[in-house]
């Protein structure tokens, strides 16, 4: 197909020409960590972050989005529409032999550490196995996030030890947002990182796969289409541009229609209005002041040397952040900063210092 042959690129590395040009401009690339060291470090870090998330966030506290209800499809709208993690956990549970499931449940109920951890998810003992499967998927998402963010850093600024260390921030950046929490948060962060990676590298086949999976994870994947429309206009052939944009909008509409139709009888609303709650929240002096200071400092870091930072990342931030702010003020709870997971990887990269040498891509 002309589109794929002209534009598709490997997901995990930049093109040979741009990589060679960057390395000539930057000089010798610092040696990367060995694969076993990076993998072990990533697994330890992801495990610690996951345990912290379970203990300090509101995971499972909202009865409208209880884990068991999400898995069996009886949760309230709009939470029930976010099917990727609960449906995957339910599929794994269905593949588990009954005897193994019973033995695993007994072992979890007999284990004090596991019982304490799962109790933070507001689970009854009979749902412990479901909780472990969801935790496994969340852990896998965090581990994959480290690799995806490292690849995004390498595609934007170059490979080497800096990219390995950047993977730490790719995982830790989620920690300040742990006051609220849902089981699909880390898949949202991961799929967003992969989407921006595909945009930077113009890996359209992978982009299509990630987008389709994202449609099952959360409806805010439509923001990826907005970023594509703005950052890729004039950068790819016209036929490819409209073809890929049409694919995204068509896939989103089809998946969204199927989900809304399937769960039309569930309680809740598709949209919850919280604009008035934000107005009231301004009277909470200390949270308002600390949030304003935090946002102002982050904006300062992002804006430093703006013109020398990767153009695709700059375009993505400019395209996605304004509508996200509007959606947050209309439909999000006050100070529920986790709703910005979609743009967080881009913000973290742009908040770092710009490189003097030529960029690899974007």
| Cα 93 from chain centroid (whole Å) | 24
pLDDT at residue 24 in the model: 41
pLDDT at residue 1 in the model: 42
Residue range 33-63, pLDDT digits in tens: 788 899 999 999 999 999 999 999 988 888 9
pLDDT at residue 13 in the model: 44
pLDDT at residue 18 in the model: 42
Question: CA-to-CA distance for 41 and 339, rounded, in angstroms?
Answer: 28
End-to-end Cα spacing for the chain: 24
Residue range 144-165, pLDDT digits in tens: 999 999 999 999 998 888 889 9
Q: 148 with 11: CB under 8 angstroms?
A: no
Question: CA-to-CA distance for 35 and 45, rounded, in angstroms?
Answer: 15
pLDDT at residue 3 in the model: 39
Structure tokens at 300: 């300062």
Question: CA-to-CA distance for 317 and 44, rounded, in angstroms?
Answer: 31
Question: CA-to-CA distance for 328 and 331, rounded, in angstroms?
Answer: 5
Structure tokens at 288: 């308002």
Q: 59 with 183: CB under 8 angstroms?
A: yes
Question: CA-to-CA distance for 356 and 308, rounded, in angstroms?
Answer: 8
Residue range 254-267, pLDDT digits in tens: 999 999 999 999 99
pTM, 2 dp: 0.86
Range 290-297 average pLDDT: 84
**Range list of H helices, 182-310:** 185-201, 204-217, 222-231, 238-262, 275-281, 285-303
Q: What is the mean pLDDT of the chain?
A: 86
């Amino acid at each position: 197909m002309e589109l794929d042959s002209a534009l598709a690129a490997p997901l995990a590395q930049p093109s040979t020409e741009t990589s060679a040009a960057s390395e000539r401009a930057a000089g010798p690339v610092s040696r990367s960590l060995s694969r076993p060291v990076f993998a072990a470090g990533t697994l330890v870090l992801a495990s610690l972050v996951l345990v912290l998330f379970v203990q300090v966030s509101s995971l499972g506290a909202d009865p409208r989005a209880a884990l068991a209800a999400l898995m069996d499809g009886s949760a309230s709208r709009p939470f029930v529409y976010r099917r990727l993690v609960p449906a995957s956990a339910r599929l794994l549970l269905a593949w588990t032999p009954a005897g193994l499931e019973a033995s695993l449940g007994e072992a979890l109920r007999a284990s004090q550490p596991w019982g304490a951890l799962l109790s933070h998810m507001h689970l009854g003992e009979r749902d412990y196995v479901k909780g472990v499967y969801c935790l496994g998927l969340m852990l896998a998402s965090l581990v994959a996030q480290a690799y995806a963010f490292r690849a995004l850093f390498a595609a934007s600024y170059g490979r080497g030890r800096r990219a390995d260390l950047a993977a730490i921030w790719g995982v830790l950046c989620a920690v300040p947002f742990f006051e609220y929490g849902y089981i699909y948060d880390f898949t949202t962060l991961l799929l967003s990182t992969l989407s921006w990676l595909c945009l930077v590298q113009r890996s359209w086949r992978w982009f299509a796969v990630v987008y389709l999976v994202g449609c099952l994870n959360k409806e805010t994947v439509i923001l990826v289409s907005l970023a594509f429309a703005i950052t890729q206009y004039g950068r790819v052939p016209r036929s490819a541009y409209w073809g890929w944009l049409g694919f995204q909008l068509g896939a989103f509409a089809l998946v969204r229609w199927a989900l809304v139709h399937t769960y039309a009888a569930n309680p809740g609303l598709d949209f919850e209005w919280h604009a008035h709650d934000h107005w009231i929240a301004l009277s909470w002096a200390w949270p308002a002041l600390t949030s304003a200071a935090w946002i102002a400092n982050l904006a300062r870091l992002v804006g430093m040397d703006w013109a020398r930072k990767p153009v695709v990342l700059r375009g993505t931030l400019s395209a996605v952040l304004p509508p996200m702010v509007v959606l947050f003020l209309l439909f999000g709870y006050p100070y529920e900063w986790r709703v910005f997971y979609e743009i967080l990887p881009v913000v973290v990269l742009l908040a770092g210092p710009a490189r003097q040498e030529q960029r690899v891509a974007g």
